[in-house]
Amino acid sequence: MQQAIEYALILDLKFAYSSNGDAFLEHDFITGKETEIKLDDFPTEDELYNRYLVSKNYTSDEMHIIETPFYYDAHSHEPRYYQRIAVDRTVEAIAKGQQRVLVVMATGTGKTFTAFQIIHRLHKSGTKKKILYLADRNILIDQTMVQDFKPFKKFMTKITSVGEGQEKIDSSYEVYMALYHQLVGKEGKTDPFLEVQPNFFDLIIVDECHRGSAKDDSAWRKVLEYFSAATQIGMTATPKADEGANNLDYFGEPIYTYSLLQGIQDGFLAPYRVTADFINVDLQGWTPEEGEIDLLGKEIEQKLYLRQNIGRDLAIKLRRRVVAHRITQMLHDIGRMTKTIVFCSDIEEAAEMRTLLINMNSDLCKKSPYYVTRIVGEDKEGKKQLDNFISVDEPYPVIVTTSELLSTGVDCKTCGLIVIDKEINSMTEFKQIIGRGTRLRKDKGKWHLEILDFRNATAKFKDPAFDGDPEPSKGGDKIGKPYQPIEDEPSTTASEPRAKYLIDGKDVRIAHEIVSVLGEDGKTMRTESIQTFARKQLLRHYQSLDDFIQTWTEAKRKQVIMDELKEYAILIDAVREANPALKDADIFDVICHVAFDQPPLTRKERANNVKKRNYFGKYEGKAREVLEALLDKYAENGILDFEKANILEIPPFNSIGKPTKIVKLFGGKLAFEQASANLNIKYIK
């Protein structure tokens, strides 16, 4: 019975049955009771339906709407079970008078087809006569009109321009397709949507409603509020709970949710394999020499450039080549005609990546100049190839480089490889990017999705929020980085391009690679993780935990140990990045945990342990202040800060005095070094 109940919940049924061969056991979700019934007394379909109707107590008007059938013709297909549930629940809620409805369905599960069936049933029943379908991208409107909404073509129109002196909304149509920004006037101008009465539309479907339509100060929100008398349905794959952009507050709790994980388990979405490549310069960072000039003749700002800066503030030519080479290598492995989207940091990086991929795949580019194409908002020529790329029948383009344009909404049914070489801070954006490749097309040979990740973005697969519902924001906290809508055309108010340094780069290489597949629990299952590799190498180098601790304690400079580990291809930063539990752990704890299964402590926890032992008790005044500052530096940045030659020249030490003065506080250089060494030993105990 438990299994029958589980299946009934998934299928949104009100009765579940099991049998031992002698009788049936009925679980009634309406009453909450279980009853044993004879084999000959099994209820008919009509009997069960009547019991269901009695529990609902529908009025005759409600019944008229609810019993309006789905759309079928010779070219249509049967709705999948979850699409039927989403449509039925939405139609029922609206029949009962609900004005705001939110439907959450994973990318690739047919939100547009679901919206079509909702509109059809409400329109056919006569409940909703003037319907507005809103999206934020031309390609979304155009795709929808020629595909799922094609049966509406006789009474459907696209609003291309409205407002004073321009085309008016033709009131003779019944289904209107529009872009948000065409209904909202430019700053200082009258909003075009004001030309029609607030009650002109009685149903509005908001496509991908997470992209700003529920934001309190959004121009799009004005459209929804003006037509507030209309029933409004939000459709999204990724509901947002950011402060000021909470579509849960605006539309209410989802009336139905169908997740990516459920879609994969049901066999409707493509399972994925993740290849995460860690590039050494990303892990270690890069610092220019003092006064170093880049390839464009600009002096490079003196600071440590981390992975987050690479591609945005700093471009490394050799790193670009490494990425392009790895993409090419993967395509050789999985099929060189696999439709591929490469997400780059910005449109300039997308242009450079296009050129590199062309040169590395010149044999195929001879066959078609569109084998590799850049498609971004500012490249009209590239955008002309978008329809060909998303077509299941057109072979070219094969590889598309972009920054953001293809991250949302575009229906790329045969996309088999997604490459991530940009920082992704928003879970919403991550879900949308992965969603470009989640569709199954077995008839076209697409059985799964490959993801090649150079930015550790796929760590978000392990985030509980990846396949769950968003938590409401609390106070002023924000969940992730707000994800802004992407327009088809470049904004006229866009800021000037940010300055970016350009260097050749030296010794750039992929330090390690993790290949993962989706497990039954929806989490990635590593086959050979960087942590497993590091463990094997460390155990070859250190015979036991005591052996390692002795080596660590005796080493005057821990950088020497780090250099030795690099010779064995053990990159501590890569291990730390691959394991979120080690994010704030020092090198010592990372090694002890990975190699010897010791529970890791954070740097702050170790620093607090030293303070509890009253190590500073024998020091007074400025000398104690110096040691406390050293411990704070350790808690903030790690043990290697102790060994920096200029440690006493930077804040807060430089406010205490010059290095020579600080050393004298301890009775001389040797005494200071001994105090530092003792502190070094104390923190590991």
Distance (Å, rounded) from C-alpha 333 to C-alpha 672? 58
* Residue 347 domain boundaries: 271-467+497-503
Write the pLDDT tens digit of every residue in 48-71: 999 999 999 999 999 999 999 999
Q: Quick one: DSSP state of residue 299? A: B
For residue 191, being part of any structural domain is answered with yes
Mean pLDDT of 215-237: 79
pLDDT at 74 over 80: yes
Residue 522 resides in a domain: no
Same domain? For 53 and 65 the reply is no
Both 332 and 244 in a single domain?
no
Looking up residue 20, the CATH number of its domain turns out to be: 3.90.1570.30
Q: Are residues 240 and 331 in the same domain?
A: no
Last residue of a domain, one of 503, 519, 554: 503
For residue 106, is pLDDT > 50? yes
Poorest-confidence range of 154-168, 313-327, 483-497, 594-608? 483-497
* pLDDT > 90? residue 413: no
Give the mean pLDDT of the chain. 83
> Same structural domain for residues 40 and 89?
no
CATH number at residue 333: 3.40.50.300
Q: Which long-range contacts (CB under 8 A, 24 or more apart) does 551-559 make?
A: 552/588, 552/684, 553/681, 553/684, 556/677, 557/643, 558/587, 558/639, 558/640, 558/642, 558/643, 559/640, 559/643
Give the mean pLDDT of 254-265: 87
Band (pLDDT 50/70/90 cuts) for residue 174 is: very high
* Domain assignment of residue 66, yes or no: yes
pLDDT number for residue 360: 97
Q: What tens digit of pLDDT does each residue of 544-573 get?
A: 999 999 998 888 888 888 877 765 656 677
- Is 311 among the domain residues? yes
Give yes or no: residues 208 and 346 share one domain. Answer: no
Kindly state whether residues 85 and 129 are assigned to the same domain.
yes
Residue 320 shares a structural domain with residue 415 = yes
Do 153 and 68 belong to one domain? yes
Same domain, 556 and 624: no
Burial class (CB in 10 A: 0-12, 13-18, 19+), 199: exposed
Lowest mean pLDDT among 131-135, 370-374, 652-656: 652-656
Which pLDDT belongs to residue 682?
67
Same domain, 218 and 315: no
Query: 359 and 430 in one domain?
Result: yes
Total structural domains in the chain? 5
180 and 206 housed in the same domain: yes
